[in-house]
Amino acid sequence: MAKKFTLSLLFGLCALTASNGFYLPGLAPVNYCHVGEQSDTCKSEIKLFVNRLNTEHSVIPYEYNHFDFCPANDEQSPVENLGQVVFGERIRLSSYKLVFMKNDSCTVLCKKTYSGGDEQSAKKLQLLKKGMALNYQHHWIVDNMPVTWCYPLENSRQYCSTGFPMGCLSKDVRSPTDMCNIGYNQPNTYYLFNHVDLTITYHSGETEEWGSGYSQKVGRIISVKVEPRSINHNPSSPDCESKSPLAIRREDLSQSEKFDVLYTYHVTYVAYFQIESGEDAQEEFGWKLVHGDVFRPPRKGMLLSVLLGSGIQVFFMALITLAFACLGFLSPANRGALMTCAMVLYVCLGTPAGYVSARVYKSFGGEKWKSNVLLTSMLSPGIVFSSFFVMNLIFWINDSSAAVPFSTLVALLALWFGVSVPLTFVGSYFGFRKRPLEHPVRTNQIPRQIPEQSFYTQAVPGVVMGGVLPFGCIFIQLFFLLNSLWSSQVYYMFGFLFLVFLILVITCSETTILLCYFHLCAEDYHWWWRSFLTSGFTAFYLLVYCIHYFVTKLDIEDATSTFLYFGYTLIMVFLFFLLTGSIGFFACFWFVRKIYSVVKVD
C-alpha cells in the first residue's frame, strides 16, 4: 500500500512538472494580459501590497494601518510564515486598483479629514507628524518585487532604494540630502507625501500557445518605480500637476479648524527594451561604468608578464614537490631529496613560464617578443642564482662545509642555460603563436577619469590589507619550517603542509577578488598590478616574521651569520612573492573576465 501511494505521488509530481514547468518556489513568472482577455493562465489585475514601515532612527517598526493612511485590506492579505512574523513583517493588500496596461491619471484613493478639538483627529495627525519627523519609510510590493524609489545625486548619478518616505520635516538647517530640500523649503513644517507616481515597466509581445489553435499575448512586469510627492489638492477638483505642497504646521489645529488630506496616485506603463535596461544597469553599478577601460593594458606590462611567468613556474614547482612529499617519495630519511626535487622541477618548468609570460604580454599588445623571452628566462633565475653565488662566496671565505663546490655551480649553470632557457624559449614560441586573448568588452580610445578615492579604496591601503589574511593561514606552519631550516629539526608534516598550501591558494584568490571588486565599484580600473601586489604583499609579512624569528629564537650575533641568514631569507621571500602574486593575479583575471562577459554594451 505504501509503495502504491509513493508511486502515485511521484507520477502526480511528474505530471505537474510537465504541465507547468520547473521553477523555484516564490519565483514563478506571472503573466498579465489586457482587460477582457484574462484566463486561467493570465490576469489583468495587479495587486499592490503594503508592508510595515520602519526607519533608521528607531528599531520599532509599525504596521501600515497603524498610521492614518487609506486602509489596507487585512482579510485578503497573504499568510505570513514564521520568519516574517518573527521579523515583524506585516504584508497587507492595499486599496490601490492597478490594471495591466491601463494608465491612471490623478486617481483619488481616499480622503481623510481632521477636525480641531477632536481628540481622535489630533492623535492621528500627531502620529503622522511623528512618522515624518523620524523619516519612516513605506515598503510596497508588486508581483513579488519591491517597489523602488530613485532620486538624483551629485555627478548626474542616481540612488535607488526599496523604501520611500511617508513625508518629511523641513528644518531650519537642512542638509543637501534632505528630502525637504527639494521644493519643500518652508522651515519647521511637515510635508505629507499624499500622491505617488507609479511607473510600471513591463515586457510585452510574448505569445502563449494553447490547444485548438488559440493563442494569447501576455506581458510580464520587470520593475515598479515610485515617485512620492506632496500636493495640496482642492477636494472638489484634485489637480495632480499642482506645485503647491501639502504643508502641515507643527502646532495643533484650532478649535473650529478642519484639515483635509486627499490621497491620489498616477500609474504609467512603459514597454521594456534591452538597450534601456543595459543603460540603467550601467548607471546603477560603478564596476559596469568602467567596462571600456578595465582591460586597458597596464604600464610596465613587460615586467608584469615576466613576473607572472616566473610565478607560475614557482607555483607548479611547489605544488608538485608537496604532492610527491605527501605520497612518500620525498621522505625526511632521504636527506636532500626535497631540495633536489624542487630544483629539478624548477629547471624543467621553464616551458609553462615562457608560455604564460608570452600570452600575457601579447594580450597587453606587446611586440618585443625577444626581450620578453630573455627576461623570462633570465630575470628571476638570475636574481636567485646571483644571491646564492654571493652567499656561497662567503661560505668559501670562511671555509664552511656549506660552501657549494665549483663543479656543482657549473652543473647548476648548465641546467639553467642548457635546460631551463631552451624550455622557456619553447614555451614562449607556442605562446606567441597563439592568438591574443579576446576580452569580453572593447577598450575605449580615451581613458576614463578616475574619481577621487576614499582612504580604503586607495592603492596602498588595499595592498597592505590584502596580505594579512593569506599570512594568517601559514604563520603557524611557518614556525616549524624555520625550525627545520635553522634549528636542525626534521620536518615531516607534509600532508598538513599541502593542506595549508591549498588554503593559501584559496585565501589569496578570494582576498584579491574581493578587493578588486571594491576598487572596480569605486570606478578605479587599474587592477592589473594591484591584483599582483595585493596577494604578493603576503611576502612582506613573511619577511617581518622571519625577522621576529631571528630576534627571538636564534642566538646569532656575528655579522657574517646575520648576512647569510637574511640573504637566504630574501631568496625565500622573493620566490614567495612571485608565488602569491601570481595566484592573486590569475584569480582576479578570471573574475574580471567573468563579470564583464555578462555585460551587454554597444
What is the bridge-based pairing of β-strands 164-165 and 167-170?
unpaired
> Do both 426 and 461 map to the same domain?
no
Strands 195-209 and 258-271 come out as: parallel
Per-residue pLDDT at 10: 40
Query: What's the pLDDT at 454?
Result: 79
Q: Give the mean model confidence (pLDDT) for residues 413-437.
A: 92
Reading the block at residue 571, the C-alpha cell is 631568496
Q: How confident is the model at residue 287 (pLDDT cuts 50, 70, 90)?
A: confident
**What nine digits make up the cell of 435?**
592568438
pLDDT digits (tens, 9 = 90+) for 240-257: 888 888 888 888 888 888
Same domain, 263 and 336: no
The pLDDT of 532-538, averaged and rounded, is 94
Q: CA 296: distance to chain centroid? A: 21
Instruction: Report the first-to-last Cα separation within the chain, whole angstroms.
Output: 62
Q: Is 290 within the bounds of a domain?
A: no
- Closest C-alpha to 499, from 471, 472, 474: 474
Q: Residue 537's closest CA among 571, 584, 499?
A: 584
CA 304 to CA 467: how far, in whole Å? Answer: 19
Interatomic CA distance for residues 215 and 209, integer angstroms: 5
pLDDT in tens, 430-440: 999 888 888 88
Do 208 and 73 sit in the same domain of this protein?
yes
The Cβ of residue 297 has, within 10 Å, a number of other Cβ atoms equal to 13
**CA-wise closest residue to 487 among 566, 384, 565:** 565
**Angle subtended by helix axes 528-536 and 538-553, to nearest 10:** 20
Q: Which of 286, 301, 281, 278 has the alpha carbon at shortest distance from 525?
A: 286
Band of residue 24 on the pLDDT scale cut at 50, 70, 90: very low
Question: Where does a domain end: 272, 288, 314?
Answer: 272
Q: How large a percentage of the chain has pLDDT more than 90? A: 37
The answer on 478 and 364 residing in a single domain is no
Of 423 and 86, more confident = 423
Tell me what pLDDT residue 273 has: 59
**Can you tell me whether residue 473 is helix, strand or coil?**
helix
Beta-sheet strands, E only, within 523-591? none
Highest average pLDDT, of 10-24, 65-79, 225-239, comes from 225-239
Tally the domains of the chain. 3
The answer to whether position 240 is within a domain reads: yes
Residue 1's pLDDT is 40
Instruction: Say if residues 565 and 555 touch (Cβ distance below 8 Å).
Output: no
| Residue 316 resides in a domain | yes
- 310-349 pLDDT per residue, tens: 999 999 999 999 999 888 887 665 667 888 899 999 999 9
Q: What percent of the chain has pLDDT over 70?
A: 85
Burial group, residue 446, by CB count within 10 angstroms (0-12, 13-18, 19+): exposed
Instruction: Give residue-wise pLDDT tens across range 91-148.
Output: 899 999 999 888 988 899 999 998 888 889 889 999 999 999 999 999 999 988 899 9
Confidence band of 43 (pLDDT split at 50, 70, 90): confident
Is residue 245 situated within a structural domain?
yes
**155-207 pLDDT tens trace:** 667 788 888 999 988 875 554 445 565 566 677 789 999 999 999 998 875 55
Grid cell in block for residue 85: 512574523
Residues 264 and 413 in one domain: no
If asked whether residues 342 and 197 sit together in one domain, one would say: no
> Given 438, 457, 482, which residue is the final one in a domain?
438
Q: Residue 531 pLDDT > 90, yes or no?
A: yes
So what's the pLDDT on residue 209? 47
99 forms beta bridges with: 45
Considering the domain architecture, whether residues 261 and 325 belong to the same structural domain is answered as no
Mean pLDDT, to the nearest integer, of 27-32?
72
Residue by residue, what is the 3-state secondary structure of 55-113? ECCEEEEECHHHCCCCCCECCCCCCCCHHHHHCCCCCEECCCCEECCCCEEEEEEEEEE
Across residues 458-471, what is the average pLDDT?
Answer: 88
Q: Output the pLDDT for position 560.
A: 84
Residue 3 domain flag? no
Q: How confident is the model at residue 210 (pLDDT cuts 50, 70, 90)?
A: very low
Residues 57 and 144 in one domain: yes
Q: Are residues 424 and 495 in the same domain?
A: no
Q: Based on the number of CB atoms within 10 Å of its own CB, is 158 exposed (0-12), middle (13-18) or buried (19 or more)? A: exposed
Give the residues across from 208 on adjacent strands. 216
**Domain check: are 414 and 468 in the same one?**
no
In the numeric block, which cell numbers belong to residue 345?
A: 622541477
The span from the CA of 578 to the CA of 348, in Å, is: 18
Domain that holds residue 415: 296-438
What confidence tens digit (pLDDT) does each residue in 543-580 have? 999 999 999 988 887 888 888 899 999 999 999 999 99
Q: Is the dihedral of CA 391, 394, 396, 398 positive or negative?
A: negative
C-alpha cell at 260: 483635509
What percent helix, strand, coil does the chain show, rounded to 5? 50, 20, 35
Q: Is 278 within a domain? A: no
Mean pLDDT, the chain, rounded, equals: 83
In a domain, 364, yes or no: yes
In a domain, 590, yes or no: yes
Confidence of residue 600 (pLDDT cuts 50, 70, 90): low
Q: What is the pLDDT of residue 217?
A: 65
73 or 376, which is more confident = 376
**Which amino acid would we find at residue 331?**
S
What distances in angstroms separate CA 579 from CA 431, 563, 572, one per listed residue?
21, 24, 11
Distance CA 473, CA 494 (A): 16
Residue from 205, 226, 224, 227 nearest 216 by CA? 205
> Is the pLDDT score of 495 beyond 90?
no
Specify the pLDDT at position 218. Answer: 76
79-88, 153-162, 179-188, 504-513: least confidently modelled range? 179-188
Boundary-marking domain end, from 202, 237, 272: 272
Q: How many Å apart are CA 466 and CA 460, to the nearest integer? A: 10
Pick 15 or 587 by higher pLDDT: 587
pTM of the model: 0.58
Residue 279 is predicted with a pLDDT of 43
In a shared domain, residues 233 and 303: no
Same domain flag for 153 and 218? yes
